[in-house]
Structure 1
Amino acid sequence: MAGPPPPLNDVRAAVAAALTGLSPGELVLVACSGGPDSLALADALAYCAPQAGLPAGLLTVDHGLQDGSASRAADVRAWALSCGLVPAEVLTVSVDGPGGPEAAARTARYAALDAASDRLGAAAVLLGHTRDDQAETVLLGLARGSGIRAAAGMPARRGRYLRPLLDLPRSTTTAACAAAGLKPWCDPHNSDPAYARSRLRKLLPTLEEAAPGVTAGLARTAKMARADADLLDSLAASVQAVSKDGLLVAVVATEPEPIRRRVLHSWASTITPRPYDLSSRHIASLDALIVSYRGQGAVALPGGVRVRRSGAHLRAD
């Protein structure tokens, strides 16, 4: 007897592998927008979770950014219940935070997922990011000059969030939906040129045509960069440079530049109310107060914070 079509089998295998770290009886949820990636993921979870002895449910976030979004979210919930994903909930959020619409939507989405996961006692939440999403994330980070951490892309696991599909192309999830008879929703924001990721999504096939394998190569680069970045972050975290009077210049100055800049970024993130707006330019200016101080004035950080060098310390005003 023939098995499931290869795309369907590939998605199920990826989900089954992600579930191996969970204990029977632990609740696993899937975040599902109704798009092809998350819908294929949710369908695979509905298939795999019972075999692993895991209760499984679904969360869908209604950002309220498009006409009919509440109705679509309700349809996703109804579909989830029909295939045994219980609990299934619609999380309605308000997108009005800082950082632009994409960042604000992401912040609101994860806040809602965190709160619901805590309330329901979920051990894991599956996210539908694919290899294509990973490649786009790496390219966006490189374009912004955000360093090795940006090149590391998205982790396969962060806390309870799991990304089982990072090694699969978007074409596989689309084909898996077709094989399962699912009708995914295509978010118009994904093709809206107003969004940087949407513009890049149109460009990536051109890059793939010019250099076959570029998407997979970027995903492999992300894995290697993540290992390097994790090591550097660990080394930076061991530097004891913070005192009650500020950041100790002499301690930070002895560190290699990659460690020094991480220490500065970590410290700066604790003293500004807008750490998400810290850029490489801000960190470079702080670094100049450490290694090339010539009496220059204070460095302005996001949120109105100013950092100056005073004696043996960097201090925030």
Structure 2
Amino acid sequence: MVQRAVLETRASARRALRGWLTERAPEAGRGASPPLVLVALSGGADSLALAAAVAYEAPRVGLRPGAVVVDHGLQRESASVAAGAAEQAAALGLDPVHVERVRVEGERGEGPEAAARDARYAAFARVAGRTRAAAILTAHTRDDQAEQVLLALARGSGLRSIAGIPQRRPLPGSEGAIVLRPFLGERPAITRQTTLAACGELGLEYWRDPHNGDPVYARVRVRERVLPELERELGPGIAAALARSADLARDDADALDALAEETLEEIVEHAEAGIAVSLAALAANPPALRHRMIRTIARAEFGVQLSREHTLAVARLVTDWRGQGPIDVPGASVRRELGRLVFTAR
């Protein structure tokens, strides 16, 4: 019997791993042991299907596959779930397997999901540092992407948020490791239905997280109510269309961000206790680039993310100045001075 879902997950893992290896600096692996990649394994169907695919494909492309299991300690059985996931990883041939217990510190403004995510990715960075892992592989699917895009639209977010979950990004807090999401490739992206089928074809028992069915979480409501309703009212293929929109938005966002950074390199200059940018140069650019340059300065120089309200307040010093004084934003004070927009630390 042909295991179609297994073949699809393996092909997706193979393409992602090969593509990433091809782009790595050739000297990175010269004369060294195969790079270690760690699957972020929760024991759920998505991550278990990814673990099986990576265990099969990674050695064939010159990588050493392992796993990291994070125990959030949010449920009574969390320790046993983590131990079971670690046993499954070892049975699949992943080595090493690390179990990391974390403490979820309160709830951020975005809710308990965000607090748990922060703790999880901090654990990934610690384990990557200890093991010198080159990448952490997460099992986000096309369905996760569609949910992310809908949530971003509901919040009124900008292009970068609508671009959804990137297939690759640096792992914050690590020394050069990346987060790689093999199931978010474009040929085609893997769905949740595919991962469930792959586990069934391989005879793998997966854990059903009760949080994934709790409507207190916005993501669960999107998954269980909003997307099915859109499918009923607008026809099938909504999840695929939303994921495709994310891909298109990401291409545009990447291009605009790169153009903003290139422009800044030409017009930025150092000032006392901060930096300055030509008012004329900022005014000559369209709002999409002007606002990006303002946010880039705040992030790169002062380590803060400006809200749209703060960004627009700073931009008005350029395009709608009526004598208003310095604008205080998180981390910095911004003022007009001698034809320049000057940012100083607060």
Q: Scaled by the length of structure 2, what TM-score is found?
A: 0.83
Is 1:296 matched with 2:329? no
Does the 8 Å contact 1:309/1:315 carry over to 2? no
Q: 1:229 aligns with which of 225, 240, 253?
A: 253
CA offsets, 1:3-41, max 9 Å, x none? 3x2112111111122222437822221111111111111
Is 1:219 matched with 2:236? no
Q: 1:145 aligns with which of 138, 153, 156?
A: 156
Does the 8 Å contact 1:273/1:302 carry over to 2? no
Separation of aligned partners in 2, 1:247 and 1:218 = 39
Q: In the alignment, what sits opposite 2:129?
A: 118
CA shift, 1:194, in A, is 2.7
| Unmatched 5+ stretches in structure 1 | none
Separation of aligned partners in 2, 1:204 and 1:63 = 28
CA offsets, 1:200-257, max 9 Å, x none? 1221122122221111011111111111111100010012344333332333222111
Does the 8 Å contact 2:298/2:304 carry over to 1? no
- Taking structure 1 as reference, are residues 96 and 282 closer, same or farther at Cα in structure 2, changes over 3 Å only? same
SS for the counterpart of 1:13 is helix
Q: 2:288 aligns with which of 254, 258, 270?
A: 258
Q: In the alignment, what sits opposite 2:229?
A: 206
Does the 8 Å contact 1:7/1:172 carry over to 2? yes
Letter of the structure 1 residue corresponding to residue 70 of structure 2: V
Mean CA deviation greater in 171-180 or 189-198: 189-198
CA shift, 1:295, in A, is 2.5
Map 1:168-247 → 2, pairs under 5 A: 168-202=190-224, 203-211=226-234, 212-240=236-264, 241-245=267-271, 246-247=275-276
Is 1:162 matched with 2:180? yes
Separation of aligned partners in 1, 2:114 and 2:269 = 33
The CA RMSD measured in Å over matched residues stands at 2.2
- Taking structure 1 as reference, are residues 300 and 145 closer, same or farther at Cα in structure 2, changes over 3 Å only? farther
Map 1:100-119 → 2, pairs under 5 A: 100=110, 101-119=112-130
CA shift, 1:306, in A, is 4.6
Q: In the alignment, what sits opposite 1:62?
A: 71
Does the 8 Å contact 2:231/2:238 carry over to 1? yes
| Unmatched 5+ stretches in structure 2 | 22-28, 171-177
CA shift, 1:123, in A, is 2.5
Does the 8 Å contact 1:28/1:54 carry over to 2? yes
CA offsets, 1:168-187, max 9 Å, x none? 11111111112211121122
Separation of aligned partners in 1, 2:323 and 2:216 = 43
Q: 1:36 aligns with which of 45, 68, 77?
A: 45
Identity fraction in percent: 48
Does the 8 Å contact 1:33/1:61 carry over to 2? yes
Separation of aligned partners in 2, 1:239 and 1:174 = 47
CA offsets, 1:36-73, max 9 Å, x none? 11111111112222333432100011122222212211
Letter of the structure 2 residue corresponding to residue 8 of structure 1: V
Is 1:133 matched with 2:157? no
Letter of the structure 2 residue corresponding to residue 114 of structure 1: A
Separation of aligned partners in 2, 1:93 and 1:8 = 32
Separation of aligned partners in 2, 1:237 and 1:47 = 40
SS for the counterpart of 2:47 is helix
Q: In the alignment, what sits opposite 1:73?
A: 82
